[in-house]
Amino acid sequence: GDDAERARAERIAEAVGRARCEVPRERLPIDGWLQRVGEAPLVVGVDTGITHFASAIGTPVVALFSITPSWLLRPQQPA
């Protein structure tokens, strides 16, 4: 995202506590994201590739939807 999105994510992270969430400091390539979500105990996100990657490799996911129909595009856990 852009600087405004990073700032918003940083505010959310501060509100919930740094020990419970992480905002990556740098942009990551796909394999970097796969490693991060594979190590995470839980991924919370919107309908984006990262949320779907996490689901595909078996990381527990909380996916948030607004306009996108969740019944059609929700992440599918492998199990």
- What is the DSSP secondary structure assignment for residue 65, as one 8-state letter? -
What is the structure's pLDDT at 51? 87
- State how far the Cα of 13 lies from the Cα of 51, in Å rounded to an integer: 18
Structure tokens at 29: 């390539």
pLDDT lower than 70: segments of the chain: 18, 78-79
pTM attached to this predicted model:
0.67
Q: Tell me which residue has tokens 């740094």.
A: 18
The predicted structure's pLDDT at residue 21? 78
Which amino acid is located at 30 in the chain?
I
pLDDT in the model for residue 52: 86
pLDDT score of 79: 52
Name 19's Cβ contacts closer than 8 Å, sequence gap at least 6. Answer: none
Q: How many CA atoms lie within 13 A of 45 on its CB side?
A: 20
